[in-house]
Amino acid sequence: MFHLPISSLPAQFGNIDIYLFDQLLKGRIRKGMKLLDAGCGGGRNVQYLMQAGVKVYGADASEEAIAKVRGMAAELAPTLSPKNFVVADLANLPFADAAFDVVLCSAVLHFAYDEAHFRSMILELWRVLQPGGMLLCRFSTTIGLEGKLQEVAPGKYQMPHGPVWFLAHEPLVRELVYTLQAEMLEPLKTVLVEQERSMTTLVLRKKDEVL
């Protein structure tokens, strides 16, 4: 069996999110699949995927981020079109319904302006996912910190490290899963960081359409 030397792992995987890595190890993301990284930033989560033959697309509100990820694609996966990477708000994505096998959204949803924007973004991520596809979202919530954070406007919290974020509470997350009639591929997993912020990972499968 071929083993990669441990020292080659950072070059291979870069700063990939461990929950995304977990899904790779579980075989849920494969070569040839169409994957959207929604709120891709500079592309840390798609560096490996591009090289592994995943058909990567990206959307981000920041022109600078999209320029960076296009540059990464030109270097690592020149067969990917620069048009795969678009400047867009996640609440209004310029992609067709059911366009993707996998939609990834890491560290973005807590930048929602309010609950309506948060809901719109989730519904839009769901719209572009095909039946049978997987949505992986990682975002800050109040889970495990209920009553401990300062709410400065409905759903908006002053975070101890400085910014004001929109934090979904657990009933909202569960309600959305129910409304989408999604299958939970993993239990809801939440990490508390120094009792100051809470990062929740939601991994959903869109059920196949009933014929």
Ligand X SMILES: C[S@@+](CC[C@H](N)C(=O)[O-])C[C@H]1O[C@@H](n2cnc3c(N)ncnc32)[C@H](O)[C@@H]1O
Footprint of ligand X (CB under 6 A): 39-41, 44-45, 60-62, 65, 89-90, 106-108, 111
Structure tokens at 9: 């792992």
For residues 75 and 103, what is the distance between their CA atoms, to the nearest angstrom?
23
Question: How many Cβ atoms from other residues are within 10 Å of residue 21's Cβ?
Answer: 14
- Complex with ligand X: residue 4 or 193, whichever CB lies closer: 193
Nearest distance in Å: CB 131, ligand X? 24
- Complex with ligand X: residue 16 or 80, whichever CB lies closer: 16
Nearest distance in Å: CB 121, ligand X? 6
Nearest distance in Å: CB 117, ligand X? 7
- Complex with ligand X: residue 50 or 108, whichever CB lies closer: 108
- Complex with ligand X: residue 38 or 80, whichever CB lies closer: 38
Nearest distance in Å: CB 68, ligand X? 9
Helix (H, G, I), strand (E, B) or coil at 37: strand
With CA atoms as reference, report the closest residue to 65 among 34, 86, 95.
Answer: 86
For residues 55 and 53, what is the distance between their CA atoms, to the nearest angstrom?
6
Residue nearest ligand X, Cβ-based: 41
Cα 130 to chain centroid distance, Å, stands at: 16
